[in-house]
Structure 1
């Protein structure tokens, strides 16, 4: 008798639900009844026919399941990407709002920093020399110079270090590190704040 065999997990009295893994003209030790359900057939031809008919059905089923899984994976990826984009947009909106609020809270100092840079440029001091002057002023403890963190010549902008140091600021705001805020030196503090609020609104 021929011995096609399938996993015991698919055990069925009539063999209809078996998932075949192997067929042989003789019983094989590695496919013993303790691990597999052994289906016996009267002829080798009958065993081969049954094996391959079920094999084709199983392969077709596996292909369908694989395609379904692939579709589900694509849907999951699209969903994850969408959620990630939403998260990034929310962070960008929060950052824009925070920067706008910090500019407003430090409007006087921001305007002073912008005025210093404008005045220096109006006197034909180039950006390289301006950086040197600001660096020297930091050493003397000049509060405006210490607030200026970086220069972006090609964009006509400077980066300021701003914090919420108002009297009604929460304790965590007072201990939080300064935030780097890039401002356009051709605009006032309030105009720069509006630009950040506009950026938040456009990204919504």
Structure 2
């Protein structure tokens, strides 16, 4: 058995409504793991994805709703769909595996997946003693915006976990056929994930029904 090459799939989806221009960045990492496959055996269980999260912020300034909305609308995150968003979440999904082959066929062993998530959010640089009503409205907006974006993240992570589960059930006559089956499964699952993401945005009106609306 030889360690096989890894495959990489990149998927990006936009979230919520209207945004602004990039500034600082900070990051945190959350990792989910499961036990390793038993040496000398095929993949006995689907390993949970490793999830890495990073955050990018763009700054906006002002002491009233009009100024804050204008800056997000004019300088928001411009995505490849031609639209501008307040917040946007993208992900990069990678998977790696090696083979376990016998005279009866081949399975994937140690199918490992990694999901790199990047959240992009507005960051209000508050003036000294901002109006209480404005601060409360902004805080509520951001809390709901984050909820919406996390929903997009969860769809990506769930899709990746489902891919690992599906691969665990595969068995092929040889390595080439196993590769073909895994690629077909991945394409199918990523296509469905794109559809799920679009449906999520349509159902929530890009987070509006979740309260991600400002002002």
What TM-score bracket applies, with the shorter chain setting the length? under 0.3
For normalisation by structure 1, the TM-score amounts to 0.24
Higher helix proportion, which one?
Answer: 1
Higher strand proportion, which one?
Answer: 2
Larger Rg: 1
For normalisation by structure 2, the TM-score amounts to 0.23
